[in-house]
Structure 1
Amino acid sequence: MMTTIRWLLRAALLFVCAVTIGVFVPRPFFKTDSANAAADKQLEILVLSGAIHTDIAVPINDEVRKSFSFLVKEGFPLADPNARWLVLGWGGRSFYLETPTWADLRPMPVLRAFTLDRSVMHVEIAGDISDKIPGVTPVAIDGREFQHLLDFVSDSFVKQSSAVLPIPDAAYGQSDRFFEAKGYFNALFGCNTWAAGALRAAGLRTGLWNPLPQTLQLSLALYN
């Protein structure tokens, strides 16, 4: 019993050390923005941080409609006149599809999240989102960085002959859809590390490793 407790304590200490290093070692290590770059950052995206998951919301403009026109072809309501934001997330197939709320939590999706699972993209349209809500972090980027972000997200979808692959009958409501995604999900390299990669594609700096929304938020505040 004591051996098991010592092993668990060592594992917890190792995880804490890894997370600390992941936050306080920036990626990329050196800042590359020019001194006057801030004046060009006219576009605002939102980092949406939940208890265990991070989404990225982009304003629906002409660039977004063009970059994600493949969603419209699959019946996604991107042209809804009330839509202001496109909310994008990547995650584990079992946990995402089978756990829409904490009340739906079951052992098997959790087990798959901590081992290895196929991944999916979740897309949703939203109306106005206040940046005063806890967990909503506005980030300013320029047009070139914005397009890099859109390209990163677009490339996360599995495509066949330029068409994405919707998951049949998979949605939380009328305004969202699930699609097949590239890569495999693991809790240590999951939705939050994907979001960090997307933000780095947009020219932002994150921590070296951000497995939790809280560590990603902290690293964004430290380095941008």
Structure 2
Amino acid sequence: MTTLKKSLRIFKKVFFGILLFLVFYTLAAFSLSKITVNSDAAAQPKEVSIYILTNGVHTDLVVPIKNDIKDWSQEIKVENTKAKDSTAQFIAFGWGDKGFYLNTPQWSDLKASTAFNAAFGLGNSAMHATFFKSLTESKSCVKIAVSKDNYEKLVQYIEATFQYDANQNPIFIEATTYGSYDSFYEANGKYNLFQTCNSWANGGLKAANQKAAFWTVTDTGIFGHYQ
């Protein structure tokens, strides 16, 4: 009986510890995402158009495929997509857990082990690149005009996320994609409860001196500053 009581006490401590963590995590995620950084971004020169794009869960940073600052087509090859269509005008970048990206094309494919590894940073990360011919502004696709200097900073932020081979080319991942216009690449960093795909996108906006959340793990934490 004594052993049983000890086990129950341990279980209660673990249970309430997890519950307390979840409460603080939720409160922090909600409150810190409401704090705006770079609130003066609107006063900056508007020279390059970028976009933030969400599927309702995950945020991508969308940039021109080519301008006088960066030609992404030299590194992110359209030949790596099924479509092999060179008429696209924009490229979207999304960072995330490699196992989640490659093994969960649909939410119905999600395994507990994949979610656990992603939540606790036990896996590697990947960059998802998607080509677009055009974009339509909406609640889920917001256009942001930035200065050339700030766009260059965003480019550097995205570049630093990729892993490169000996020839300084992003390392392409042979994998099943979500459609005909996308591909995956090896990336730096570890996805976890505190650094999610949306945290990465939010970090890109910060790097480009654009409005962003102080910290967020959700797409709403980003888009709430652009309503």
Taking structure 2 as the reference length, what is the TM-score of the superposition? 0.81
2:178 pairs, out of 165, 172, 175, with 172
For 1:1-224, list aligned pairs within 5 A.
3=12, 7=17, 9-27=19-37, 35=43, 37=44, 40-63=45-68, 66-72=71-77, 75-76=79-80, 80-116=85-121, 117-132=123-138, 134-161=139-166, 162-218=168-224, 220-221=225-226
Deviations 1:70-128 (CA, angstroms, capped at 9, x unpaired): 223x8346984431210111000111111112232222211111111210011010122
Paired AA for residue 176 in structure 1: D
Match of 2:4 in 1: none
Comparing 141-150 with 117-126, greater Cα deviation is found at: 141-150
Distance 1:150 1:79, change over 3 A: farther
Q: Secondary structure at the match of 1:155?
A: helix
Match of 2:5 in 1: none
Q: Distance in 1 between matches of 2:135 and 2:195?
A: 28
The question of whether the paired residues in 1 share the 8 Å contact of 2:41 and 2:210 is answered with: no
Q: Distance in 1 between matches of 2:158 and 2:40?
A: 22
Structure 2 stretches lacking a partner, 5+ long: 1-7
Comparing 119-128 with 97-106, greater Cα deviation is found at: 97-106
Q: Distance in 2 between matches of 1:209 and 1:76?
A: 33
How much is the aligned-residue C-alpha RMSD, in angstroms? 2.7
The question of whether the paired residues in 1 share the 8 Å contact of 2:70 and 2:155 is answered with: no
Distance 1:158 1:177, change over 3 A: same
Matched residue count: 214
User: Could you tell me how far 1:137 is from its partner in structure 2?
Assistant: 1.6
User: Could you tell me how far 1:9 is from its partner in structure 2?
Assistant: 4.8
